[in-house]
Amino acid sequence: MSRDSNIVYIGRKPTMNYVLAVMTNFNSSDMKDVTIKARGQAITTAVDVAEIVKRRYMKDLNVSDITIGTEEIQQQEGGTRNVSTIETGIVRS
């Protein structure tokens, strides 16, 4: 199993796809923690995923840590732009 198998990257798919991915990581490999990563407009989806999993499906989970930051993205026209990022750690208690 790869080192990053407990990371779920959030993108543009529907929220429930990511909820299923988080639950699958917890159930299929008996992991104790999963990290949800997102940037830009996907941050709201990442927060929704963490709360849906925690409140509706797996009530024994807790948020262990939240890390926010900024990444510089190279633009095609030249130059850079700043994009916000978030990493949320969810741990089974």
Q: What is the pTM (predicted TM-score) of this model?
A: 0.85
What pLDDT band is residue 32 in, cutting at 50, 70 and 90?
confident
At residue 12, φ and ψ (nearest 5 deg) are -105, 5
For residue range 33-83, what is the model confidence (pLDDT) as tens digits? 999 999 999 999 999 999 999 999 988 899 999 999 999 989 988 899 999
Report if residue 2 sits inside a domain. Answer: no
- Rounded Cα distance between 65 and 91, Å, is 9
Identify the band that residue 28 occupies on the pLDDT scale cut at 50, 70 and 90: confident
pLDDT band per the 50, 70, 90 thresholds, residue 4: low
Which CATH number fits the domain that encloses residue 42? 3.30.110.20
Q: What is the pLDDT of residue 2?
A: 40
- The number of distinct structural domains making up the chain is 1
User: 80 by DSSP, 3-state: which?
Assistant: strand
